[in-house]
Structure 1
């Protein structure tokens, strides 16, 4: 199994509209960040987690031609508003793409983007909605939803085989840490240095990593406070910052 970080930026990306790079060195290509999405590739297919507003560019960069399925963490704009770019893949492959989300998130998705799921005159539906009630096998890997807190809303993190992905999380419920035993890879929200009401900040993310003890950890959802080079020099062993296009091979 291989995972690819399609985007690792915070909700506004880096640089922000208007040209601000914050503390990020604009000459370092790995500081240019699109919004968060993840691609999982197995020998049986490809799975997408979230459809960031930069979806078209991300799918082109990863040379994606078909998807086994799409999973959603929550419905904030930076996780969902690239959904229309799935249309090209549905049309190329001539079938609806299965979409999975926990029931409340799925209800929001099918209401907000109803035209993607319903037959409209001259426009066929492109997505097939599926309520996620627990672990499910897709493309030869078990995907387990893990409910977490994201500020005032809930979001879904995912364990995908021996990897886990939490792009937007402020609290992990105590009872869910057991679901994270034996991880080879943890990809986790670390928005900025200072605490934030809706996201893990760097120290909180590092505390979780120390507790979970994955084989390796990658920080994502990086705001413009967090410079790639500075993080590389200061993070503990086994922890690295994400960058757009980063690939991690988890093959045995």
Structure 2
């Protein structure tokens, strides 16, 4: 018997910057409030694997931001095989407790994966998720795993195997992890890539990449910087995320090359090369 065909779909569950769009106070900035694609939740990615010989799915989530509950409800997520973290900042982690409902309904801990620094900080800040506090009747809901740049991680499930390659990225004064899945790569919260990262990023079909705002920022790629990196790395197409409220969907779309588009919440992308 030959290998059964697998399909992996990446869903942009959120593409907004740390405060979302609009920001609290109904601050839309340059974004047209009448354009639904300008309403943005915090960044999170859903990977769903399916096989032709199975009705089940393999589900992976990257980052559990503040909007996770609504994101999981909108995507009708019923179980998760693995959660991966790009880094420990609040807008990427503070929805972690919303994993509790899935852990309890499926009667098993959810496996979470992070680098060294993020692992320490997330495990300390949300320690009750990993072990029961003294005198608590609530069970732990998560199981932690350390991952390393350049070492692939395989997640098994009824929808087949999803393999993620962590790639180290610069994020101002700290580092984050990007993730490559086949010919697809997710690069959130990034300001640059060293030679090792660039070597691992060759031949991309789809690159989902940070483009915070039109002007420079110390820890994020600006729109001009992101476009420069896209030209340099030459993916077939690129999708811009982590969009601040000065990145109006139609205004910025008119300024990008044909192979570069702005993300919007709920956008689905096929993952190739798996």
TM-score (norm 1): 0.97
CA contact (8 A) 2:241 2:262 kept: yes
Q: Which secondary structure does the structure 2 equivalent of 1:229 belong to?
A: helix
Q: Deviations over 1:12-43 (max 9, x none)?
A: 11001011100000000000000000001112
CA contact (8 A) 2:183 2:272 kept: no
Is 1:248 matched up with 2:269?
Answer: yes
Is 1:124 matched up with 2:139?
Answer: yes
CA contact (8 A) 1:2 1:251 kept: no
Q: Which secondary structure does the structure 2 equivalent of 1:104 belong to?
A: helix
Paired position in structure 2 for 1:8: 15
Q: Which of structure 1's runs of 4+ aligned residues deviate more than 6 A? A: none
Kindly tell me: are residues 79 and 214 of structure 1, through their superposed partners in 2, closer, same or farther at Cα, counting changes over 3 Å? same
149-158 vs 214-223, which deviates more?
149-158
Paired position in structure 1 for 2:97: 84
Contiguous gaps of at least 5 residues in structure 2? 1-7, 51-56
Q: Partners of 1:10 and 1:154 in 2: how far apart?
A: 18
Paired position in structure 2 for 1:111: 124
Q: Which secondary structure does the structure 1 equivalent of 2:177 belong to?
A: strand
Aligned equivalent of 1:36, options 33, 36, 43: 43
Paired position in structure 1 for 2:244: 223
Q: Partners of 1:147 and 1:175 in 2: how far apart?
A: 8
| Superposed counterparts of 1:201-212, under 5 Å | 201-212=222-233
Paired position in structure 2 for 1:178: 199
Shift of 1:109: 1.1
Shift of 1:174: 2.1
RMSD over equivalenced CA pairs, Å: 1.1
TM-score (norm 2): 0.90
Q: Which secondary structure does the structure 1 equivalent of 2:48 belong to?
A: strand
158-167 vs 219-228, which deviates more?
158-167
| Superposed counterparts of 1:11-160, under 5 Å | 11-43=18-50, 44-120=57-133, 121-133=136-148, 134-139=151-156, 140-160=161-181
Q: Deviations over 1:64-95 (max 9, x none)?
A: 00001000001111000000000001011110
Q: Which secondary structure does the structure 2 equivalent of 1:178 belong to?
A: helix
CA contact (8 A) 1:216 1:239 kept: yes
Kindly tell me: are residues 209 and 182 of structure 1, through their superposed partners in 2, closer, same or farther at Cα, counting changes over 3 Å? same
Q: Number of paired residues?
A: 252
Q: Partners of 2:199 and 2:87 in 1: how far apart?
A: 22
Aligned equivalent of 1:189, options 201, 205, 210: 210
